[in-house]
Chains A and B, each alone.
Chain A
Amino acid sequence: MANLVKDVTINDSHPKTLLLKRHVEYIAAYGNNKEDFEYCMTEYLRMSGMYWGLTAMELMGHLHYMDKAQVIEFISQCIDSSGGISSSIGHDPHLLYTLSAVQILCLLDAVSVLPVDKVTEYVASLQKPDGSFTGDKWGEVDTRFSFCAVACLSLLGRLDAIDVDKAVEFVVSCHNFDGGFGSQPGSESHAGLIYCCVGLLSITGRLHLIDGDLLGWWLSERQLPSGGLNGRPEKLPDVCYSWWVLASLAMLGRLHWVHKQSLERFVLACQDTELGGFSDRPGDIPDPFHTLFGLAALSLLGNGELGKVNPTYCMPQHVIDRLKLRPQVLSV
Chain B
Amino acid sequence: MTDAVTTNAVTSNAVTSPYGTDPQEPGSELSGFGGADGSPRVSYLLRVNGVDRPVNGAWIGESLLYVLRERLGLAGAKGGCDQGECGACSVQLDGQLTAACLVPAALAADSEIRTVEGLAADGSASDVQRALAESGAVQCGYCIPGMAMAVHDLLERNHQPTELQAREALCGNLCRCTGYQGALAAIEKVAQSRAEAAEAAEAAAEAAAEAADAADAAGPGEQAETADAADPDSLADDSLADDLAGEQFGRDEYPGDGYPVDEYPVYSDVEIPGQQQGEAQHIDHHHPDHHHPEPQADPLFGPMDGLNTEQPPAEQQYAYPVYAQQPQPEPYQAGFQPQAYPQAEYPLPGTQPPGAPEGAEPGVYVLPHQGTHQGTHQNTHAPEAGA
A and B held together in a complex: no
Contacts from B to A (Cβ < 8 Å): none
